[in-house]
Amino acid sequence: MARLGMVIDLKRCVGCNSCTLSCKQENGTPAGMHFARVVTREVGEYPRTRRTFLPLLCNHCEDAPCEKACPTGATYIRADGIVMVAKEKCIGCRACAVSCPYMNRHFIEEGFLGHGYAGGELSPFEAVKFGAFEEGTMSKCTLCAHRVDEGLEPACVTTCPTEARIFGDWDEPEGKLQKLVRERNGWTLLPECKTRPKVFYLDA
């Protein structure tokens, strides 16, 4: 069975936030909720400074702490390794959010789905897309499971103009993910948390 994941090449990332926007468009997340985001940081000292970019999304960890912390079993891991939330089982205790070191869980507050980006009524797009969410429950990046099930790549991968995001299967020994990580010493975020993320990064 596949173990789906991603490698993000920081040498290619230009911090354009196309992934952030394409994710919002694909998943129709409410205002203020970002399954994909890019953390920007200025490093160095004047005059030798530069900006670094770190694209973030759910790491779909193999030892997912959110799945362990969930008291109801609402958070589960699919056979292909994608970490999902069954919203009908979620009670909104937020234990998963507290246990995720990557801050990739999102709580949908009461009234959150009542108004759209423009502030007033929901647009037709929002009215359809917000139907996938439920107030009082948690939501998260699904690695675009609905697209993956149709043989497509996640929206953030397809949209990235520099092809910094590489999507694939970790179970393929000679696949592109394994190869890139081996060749360029890929690393994961916060390895001390021992969550075994399936999203790896390559140095800039």
Partner 1 sequence: MATHGEIAIAPHRFAYGYYRQVWWNWLIGTAFFCGGLGAGLFLVSLATGEPVGMIAGWLLVTVGKNTAHLFFLGRPERFWRAAMRPDRSWIARGIWATGFFAVAGFLCFAPHVLGPAWMLSGTAGAAVQWVAAISALFIMFYDGFVMNSSGAIPFWNSALLPLLVLMYASLGGTTLSLLLRAVTGGGQEHMAWLGLQEKWLLVGNAALLGAYLYRMSRWQPAARETVRMLVRGRFAWAFVGLVLAIGLGATLLLTFAAERFRSEWLLPVVAACELTGDFTLLIVWLKSGLFSPQTAPHALNTVSKQEPA
Q: Which is nearer to partner 1, 2 or 193 (CB)?
A: 193
| CB-CB contact of 27 with 194 (8 Å) | no
| Paired residues of 200 in beta bridges | 7
Give the strand order in the sheet containing 165-169: 165-169, 4-9, 199-202
Among 14, 73, 114, 152, the residue binding partner 1 under the rule CB under 8 A is: 73
**Considering only residues 79, 110, 124, 150, which one is a binding residue for partner 1 as defined by CB under 8 A?**
110
- In sequence order, what are the residues at sequence separation of 6 or more whose Cβ sits closer than 8 angstroms to the Cβ of residue 181? 7, 200, 202
What distance in Å separates the CA atoms of residue 80 and residue 110, rounded to the nearest whole number? 32
Q: Which H helix or E strand runs over 8?
A: strand 4-9
- 28 near partner 1 (CB under 8 A): no
Binding marks (x or -) toward partner 1, 39..58, rule CB under 8 A? xxx-xxx--xxx-x-x-x--
Within positions 153 to 192, which residues make up the interface with partner 1, using CB under 8 A? Answer: 187-192
| Site map 124..143 versus partner 1, x via CB under 8 A | ----------xxxxx-----
Q: Which residues bind partner 1 (CB under 8 A)?
A: 34, 37-41, 43-45, 48-50, 52, 54, 56, 65, 68-74, 89-95, 97-103, 107-110, 134-138, 187-195, 201, 203-204
